[in-house]
Amino acid sequence: MNVTKSELIITAGNKSQFPEGETVEIAFAGKSNVGKSSLINTLINRKSLARTSSQPGKTQTINFYGIQDKINFVDLPGYGYAKVSKTQREAWGKLIESYLSERENLKQVVLLVDCRHEPGENDKMMYNWISHYHENVIVVATKLDKIKRSQVPKHISIIRKGLGLKPTDKIIPFSASTKQGKDELWEILDMFVE
């Protein structure tokens, strides 16, 4: 999709704030600081619509972005960040869980993992959850520019094995700085746009 229009619809801190209507939603999940906001900004050709931060745990709400009036991207709070209170973590957990399990507009969840590291327990839990509810999982391996090109196949293989991906799942190596993987991801996401 050639994106010329994108906007922040709402920053939702609870279920009652989720947008109404039937617009298809694609959610982006991953641990804190894995690059969800950077991926969204790259996909929509904007520098800072989705706020990025070097400080993990910055996104504490579910942020809905309208794209071309056809599809909504949903930026979920990062998981696995220790510097927030247990109560706050539990509140986010409940909010994310209710969104992921009850939201009818949600058609796909894209799981982001850092291509430099083996998937952690939280990544595996999220993958298992997504694959339970969705036939095919899209995994985006971020920060591709941080490893040598010759190392990419090895790292992708580690992620594939670490998460236990099914043959039908897709894994897309991605870099926000070089834009590698952007077109490949859009090819898949375009299928959800009516």
Task: Return the half-sphere exposure (C-beta side, CA atoms, 13 A cut-off) of residue 171.
Answer: 22
How many whole angstroms separate alpha carbon 128 and alpha carbon 132? 6
Q: What is the pLDDT of residue 155?
A: 97
Is the pTM for the entire model greater than 0.85?
yes
Q: What is the pLDDT of residue 32?
A: 84
Backbone angles phi, psi at 139, to 5 degrees: -110, 130
Which SS3 state, helix, strand or coil, does residue 128 take? helix
The alpha-helical segments, DSSP class H, found in 4-151 are: 36-43, 86-102, 121-133
Note the pLDDT tens digit of each residue in 112-134: 999 999 999 999 999 998 998 88
The confidence score (pLDDT) of residue 63 equals 92
- What is the structure's pLDDT at 134? 84
Query: For the chain, which residues score pLDDT lower than 50?
Result: none
30-56 tens-digit pLDDT: 998 899 989 999 999 988 787 665 555
The Cα-based distances of 183 to 14, 15, 73, 161, 167 in angstroms read: 33, 32, 16, 25, 21
- Angstrom distance (rounded) from CA 49 to CA 128: 30
Task: State the pLDDT at residue 194.
Answer: 64
